[in-house]
A and B are shown apart, each in its own frame.
Chain A
Amino acid sequence: MSIAPAVPSADAQLPATRRDIAPLLLVPALMLAMLPLVGSWSTWVTLTVAGLAMGMMIFIMASGLTLVFGLMNVINFGHGAFIAVGAFSATLVLLPLRGWLAMDSLILNLGVLALAIVVAMLVTALLGWAFERLLIQPVYGQHLKQILVTMGGMILAEQLIHVVWGAGTIAVPLPTALRGAFLLGDAAIDKYRLVAVAVGLVVFVAMYLILNRTKVGLLVRAGVEHGEMVEALGYRIRRLFVLVFAAGAGLAGLGGVMWGLYKETLTAAMGGEIMVMLFIVIIIGGLGSVGGCFIGALLMALVANYTGFLAPGIALVSGIVLMISVLLWRPAGLYATGRG
């Protein structure tokens, strides 16, 4: 038997793998196409940055949802509960420390915000773990029951929020250092929106690295496509399910905090209200694809912002129109996974 060298050598001689970059180009193409339509440079910058910030927050909230669907084949209509619970859990830190948030100290402000995020993610990850154990596990493989059970779970979570935090809305203070805007020429760019963009990018890069550079990430990606085969290789995929579900819930909690601070008002229904948008995003991206979810979220938010400015009358249906357009082009979404 011939023994080949350990380091692959023929790779460089092969034709390059065709990378699917068309979806990646959609976002810059859309932004550039809108510049002449918007007309004003400063307005375009403001709309674009606002769209990117909103898109990043949507991505953070939707990324867990797409992973849960892709890996576990679970349609979780209760994902919104994690968003709302995350936002409300953050008030456990934000409200008692509102004095520190009011101080003009970037470090103190960010420290409080980071603590609030950690608390929110821990609470929602724990809630996600319980959600998976109690509600999802009995209905694996039964989509209709999943829809009913997870919607029930979300109603229950909303009522629990009413019980714990009261029925009214809660105002959350935006940290002083993150209020206001930078001026870029005539364009005003909200500081908080830049923070949202930065957090979204960090989450995306972290997820990319985990999914592509770690064995757990490989397992998740493999499990999205052939969960049964992952099990046959000797891995307990149910444990992976729980881990991913809890992580997805934690991300939703983070998104909830970001979204709540963006709105500066929390309601128990805030998660449920955004669920339709999240489902549109994960369908556009390709069910189970984190990269597709990222692009889908940016597209969704940018289209909503541009349409709101250019044609407010159709802004409400812009997401649906976007989804239909993408699905006509790629019926399984921008990046179809094996589960697709």
Chain B
Amino acid sequence: MLAPDPATRQPLLRLTGVHTHIGGYHILHGVDLQVAHGELAVLLGRNGAGKTTTLRTIMGLWRASSGSIHFDGADITNLATSAIARAGIAYVPENMAVFSDLTVRENLVLAARDGPLDTARVDWLCGFFPALRTFWHRPAGNLSGGQKQMVAIARAIVEPRKLLLVDEPTKGLAPAIVHSLMAAFRELKAQGATILLVEQNVHVVRALGDTASVMDGGRVVHAGPMALLAGDAALQQRLLGLSLDTQP
């Protein structure tokens, strides 16, 4: 399925001049960012650029000290995290935050807040991540890092959500697991899901991203189609200090 031109899509998420302070530290310095309906937007940047803070600020886990965040036409800047989640945003944090004392099934049951687990959707998830079925009744804490990541992503999409925020899902994972995750994201994308992905793996970034935004020093310093960034080695070097062609 061909993704429509990002320029013609309506923004599902829009951050305007967002500043975030954590304790005495000023982390985000006026972030402007848009994610259109049905788009897989990638957020890139060096460590400490503010990518994770941006996702956490969108989720309300850290408060924006100024600026605004609009989602699906509504201002969510000052909403509680639970209300933001109920508005339709799912979040997969960098540390995965699976509930290790709970079984895989219980992790998903908890995420299915609108009722019992949808069997067909669970089947669909298990198609991507067979480990879910294998370890269905096992405590999630006993799983490997890659399997935990699968649980975390499955938990986020166990019910349809309007927007999925994912923070570095491939970090530290074996190539085989990375391929499974990529297949899952491709399928989600093909189904029209909107995803904002923070990622350092340039192979994943190139393969999946419709648009790329690059952060530096708490600001978005570049935003545009992935093809533009992927095709300009000098731009990559200037913004990221690396080439998107350097990794397989």
Are A4 and B102 in contact, with the CB atoms below 8 A? no
Are B136 and A225 in contact, with the CB atoms below 8 A? no
Are B82 and A236 in contact, with the CB atoms below 8 A? yes
Q: Which residues of chain A have C-beta atoms less than 8 A from B123's C-beta? A: 3-6
Are B110 and A1 in contact, with the CB atoms below 8 A? no
For residue A39, CB closer than 8 A to chain B, the reply is: no
Q: Which residues of chain B have C-beta atoms less than 8 A from A230's C-beta? A: 110
For residue B130, CB closer than 8 A to chain A, the reply is: yes
Closest-by-CB residue of A relative to B113 is A234
Are B110 and A4 in contact, with the CB atoms below 8 A? no
For residue B8, CB closer than 8 A to chain A, the reply is: no
Assuming the contacts A8-B137, A215-B109, A235-B82, asked whether A222 and B99 have C-beta atoms less than 8 A apart, the reply is yes
For residue B85, CB closer than 8 A to chain A, the reply is: yes
Are A225 and B100 in contact, with the CB atoms below 8 A? yes
Within 8 A of B (CB), among A1-56: 1-6, 8-11, 14, 17
- Shortest Cβ gap from B163 to chain A (Å): 13
- In the complex, what distance in Å separates the CA atom of A5 from the CA atom of B120? 9
Q: Which residues of chain B have C-beta atoms less than 8 A from A234's C-beta? A: 82, 85-86, 113
Q: Which residues of chain B have C-beta atoms less than 8 A from A1's C-beta? A: 124, 127-128, 187
For residue B169, CB closer than 8 A to chain A, the reply is: no
For residue A232, CB closer than 8 A to chain B, the reply is: yes
For residue A233, CB closer than 8 A to chain B, the reply is: yes
Closest-by-CB residue of A relative to B88 is A234
- In the complex, what distance in Å separates the CA atom of A66 from the CA atom of B218? 40
- In the complex, what distance in Å separates the CA atom of A137 from the CA atom of B135? 39
- In the complex, what distance in Å separates the CA atom of A222 from the CA atom of B111? 11
Assuming the contacts A3-B123, A218-B110, asked whether A17 and B139 have C-beta atoms less than 8 A apart, the reply is yes
Q: Which single member of B61, B82, B101, B133 contacts A225 (CB below 8 Å)?
A: B101
- In the complex, what distance in Å separates the CA atom of A128 from the CA atom of B40? 47
Assuming the contacts A8-B133, A8-B136, A14-B134, asked whether A2 and B99 have C-beta atoms less than 8 A apart, the reply is no
Are A236 and B80 in contact, with the CB atoms below 8 A? yes
For residue A159, CB closer than 8 A to chain B, the reply is: no
Are B93 and A229 in contact, with the CB atoms below 8 A? yes
Are B124 and A3 in contact, with the CB atoms below 8 A? yes
Q: How many residues of B contact A (CB 8 A)?
A: 38
Q: Which residues of chain B have C-beta atoms less than 8 A from A231's C-beta? A: 61, 80-82, 85
Assuming the contacts A229-B97, A233-B111, A236-B80, asked whether A10 and B86 have C-beta atoms less than 8 A apart, the reply is no
Closest-by-CB residue of A relative to B86 is A234
- In the complex, what distance in Å separates the CA atom of A9 from the CA atom of B136? 9
Within 8 A of A (CB), among B100-128: 100-102, 106, 109-111, 113, 119-120, 122-124, 126-128
- In the complex, what distance in Å separates the CA atom of A236 from the CA atom of B61? 13
- Shortest Cβ gap from B187 to chain A (Å): 6
- Shortest Cβ gap from A243 to chain B (Å): 15
Q: Which single member of B81, B122, B135, B136 contacts A232 (CB below 8 Å)?
A: B81
For residue A186, CB closer than 8 A to chain B, the reply is: no
Within 8 A of A (CB), among B159-194: 187
Additional A-B contacts beyond A3-B123, A222-B101, A233-B111 (10; CB < 8 A): A8-B134, A9-B133, A221-B102, A222-B99, A225-B100, A225-B101, A228-B61, A234-B82, A236-B82, A338-B100
* Chain A contact residues, CB within 8 Å of chain B: 1-6, 8-11, 14, 17, 215, 218-219, 221-222, 224-226, 228-237, 337-338
Shortest beta-carbon contacts, A-B, top 9:
A234-B85, A8-B136, A229-B97, A4-B126, A222-B99, A231-B81, A6-B119, A226-B97, A234-B86
A selection of 29 A-B contacts at a CB cut-off of 8 Å is A1-B127, A1-B128, A2-B127, A4-B126, A5-B123, A8-B133, A8-B137, A10-B134, A14-B134, A14-B138, A215-B109, A218-B109, A221-B99, A222-B101, A224-B101, A225-B100, A226-B99, A228-B97, A229-B97, A231-B81, A231-B82, A232-B61, A233-B85, A233-B110, A233-B113, A234-B82, A234-B113, A237-B82, A338-B100
